[in-house]
Structure 1
Amino acid sequence: MFQRCLICTDFSDGLYRLVEFLPSLAKGGIKQIIFSHVAPLWEEGEIPRIDEEAVEAARQRFEKGLKDTPEGLEVKVEIDSGRPVDIIPKVARTYNVDVIMTGMPIRSLLKEKLFGSTTAALARNCVTPLLILRPELISTYTREELNLRCQHLSRYLLIPYDGSESSQYLVKKVKESAQKRPDGSLQQCMLIWVVDEGGRRAVPKDYQVKEAQEKLEAVKVELEELGLQVNVEVRQGNPLVEILDAALVYDITAIAVSSQSLNKIIDWPVRSFAGELMRRSWFPVIYFPPAK
């Protein structure tokens, strides 16, 4: 699905382990990988400055790990010192990457507001899609498990769809990615429409389900025209609960999501489906930022 990938790691999030699985990532269609590490500034004294020692230590650590680069895969390393939220977007623009791979631990909205999150800040400010992985999982996968995971990062996408502007934009971005997807990547999609038990009370549920099914079938045709295998399902209940349950049932490799409000700072403290999914899903989440 993606060919140029920026992998960001602070060496404690598990993503550094991916340096050992370059052949597996290449099998998933990736052609270029940029590993990025941002060391904190040296703040002893009156003026913060680049921590040259930390930068060099990180560079040496990458050099020791990058040993098995398969033919056809280009690998680069970018070591900087400063604020990750400032540097990562610049690196992404420099290399014109298709996706930024980053870690984000499971946490509540309150903890995120109290302690901050680089990934949450990137979701607000970046125009590049984010592939969000859980450090708790990446750190504990066996080598065999991580080898398979790297090969199938975007093989089977779950796409929540409810006819809203955000979901229509999400399908548009998935279609754009599918049109230029490399061999070995995106093969299958699952379209899920969850009829919220609390919404549109004046409209009978049977009618809402039928309407949703018809709209999903139309989107299914659009995706199938791109050579994708597409399944559809309409559920009733809490959207977040049902989406996560569907991901379990259908052996999903990642959940795709977008939001028209997530990038607005004023709306970030407000609970949203996309935000809650990014905070709570154990499955990898591909977040497509709205157009600026």
Structure 2
Amino acid sequence: MFHNCLICTDFTDGLHRLVNFIPPLASSGLKRIVFLHSISVWQSEKVARVDEDKIAKAKQLLAPSLEEVPDGVEVKVEVLSGQPKDVILRLIDTYDIDIVLTGMPIRSAIEAKIFGSHTLELVKSTSTPLMILRPQLISTYTCEELALRCQHMWRYLLIPYNGEQSGEYLLEELKNHLEDYPDSSCEQCLLLWVIDDGERTEEITKYHYREAHDKLNKVKAELEKLNVTVKTKVTQGNPLVEILDTALNFDISAIAIASDYRNTILEWTNPSLANEVLRRSWFPVLFFSPKK
């Protein structure tokens, strides 16, 4: 689905391990892979300084990525000073990046509010898709497991969809990427429609199920034209619970979510749904950022 990848690591998120998996990453369709580590600038006697020792150490840790590069693949290492968000945005333009890999720890709502998140800041600042990987998960993979994960990053996507504006934007973005990259590593999608769990009569519930199935079948036909196997599921309950439960039971590679709002995360039936997915899902999250 993507060709030019920016992998951002602070060396605590586990993403620096990917320097040893360039061939598996290339087999997923990537043609350009850029590793980034940003170094904070510190102040001394009113002069901004950069810790040269930290830069040298970071370059050394990322250097293995340059040792085993398949033909037709470009690998770069960038260790730059500055705020992570600003550096990332600059490199997105420099290398024509179409996917950013970044880590985001699982935190409670209170922790997220206190400590913040570079990833959430980035979500609001770029239209480039983000692939969010859990440090708690990627750090525990064996080398064999991580190689398989790199090969099949986007093989089976879970797509929450309910016909609303954000869902339409998500489908639009997915179709654009599938059309642009016909050799896509995305083989299968699961369209999930969650009927919110509320008090309603049996007849009304049946109507909502029929309506959901009809709309999903139309979307399914559109995606199947792009050489992707598509399954559909309609269920009733709490949207977040159903999304995570479905991801667990259908061998999902990543959950795809999106927003077409400039300063907020996905507003589906619940305004905080995507925020909850980003905070609480152990599964990788493929996030299509707001339009500029």
Q: TM-score, normalised by structure 2?
A: 0.94
Q: After the TM superposition, which residues 161-176 of structure 1 pair with which residues of structure 2 at under 5 Å, given as runs?
A: 161-176=161-176
Matched, 1:93 2:81: no
**Native 8 Å contact 2:6 2:101 kept in 1:** yes
Pair 69,182 (structure 1): closer, same or farther in 2 beyond 3 Å? farther
One-letter amino acid of the structure 2 residue matched with residue 193 of structure 1:
W
The equivalent of 2:28 in structure 1 is 28
Pair 54,171 (structure 1): closer, same or farther in 2 beyond 3 Å? same
User: C-alpha displacement at 1:184, in angstroms?
Assistant: 5.7
Pair 283,138 (structure 1): closer, same or farther in 2 beyond 3 Å? same
The equivalent of 1:156 in structure 2 is 156
Matched, 1:221 2:239: no
| Residue deviations 1:218-263 (CA, integer Å, cap 9, x gap) | 1001101111100001000000100111111110101100124473
Pair 38,199 (structure 1): closer, same or farther in 2 beyond 3 Å? farther
| Distance in structure 1 (CA, Å) of the matches to 2:195 and 2:244 | 15
Matched, 1:18 2:18: yes
One-letter amino acid of the structure 2 residue matched with residue 248 of structure 1:
L
**Native 8 Å contact 2:2 2:98 kept in 1:** yes
Q: Structure 2: 5+ residue runs without aligned partners?
A: none
**Native 8 Å contact 2:262 2:291 kept in 1:** no
Q: TM-score, normalised by structure 1?
A: 0.94
The equivalent of 2:141 in structure 1 is 141
One-letter amino acid of the structure 1 residue matched with residue 216 of structure 2:
L
The equivalent of 1:3 in structure 2 is 3
| Residue deviations 1:252-286 (CA, integer Å, cap 9, x gap) | 10110012447349x9xx96111111111111000
Matched, 1:66 2:60: no
User: C-alpha displacement at 1:67, in angstroms?
Assistant: 1.7
One-letter amino acid of the structure 1 residue matched with residue 83 of structure 2:
R
User: C-alpha displacement at 1:110, in angstroms?
Assistant: 1.6
One-letter amino acid of the structure 2 residue matched with residue 33 of structure 1:
I
One-letter amino acid of the structure 2 residue matched with residue 146 of structure 1:
L
Q: Structure 1: 5+ residue runs without aligned partners?
A: none
**Native 8 Å contact 1:155 1:188 kept in 2:** yes
RMSD: 2.0
User: C-alpha displacement at 1:53, in angstroms?
Assistant: 2.4
**Native 8 Å contact 1:262 1:275 kept in 2:** no
**Native 8 Å contact 2:105 2:135 kept in 1:** yes
| Residue deviations 1:75-132 (CA, integer Å, cap 9, x gap) | 0111111110111111111111111000000012221110111111111112111000
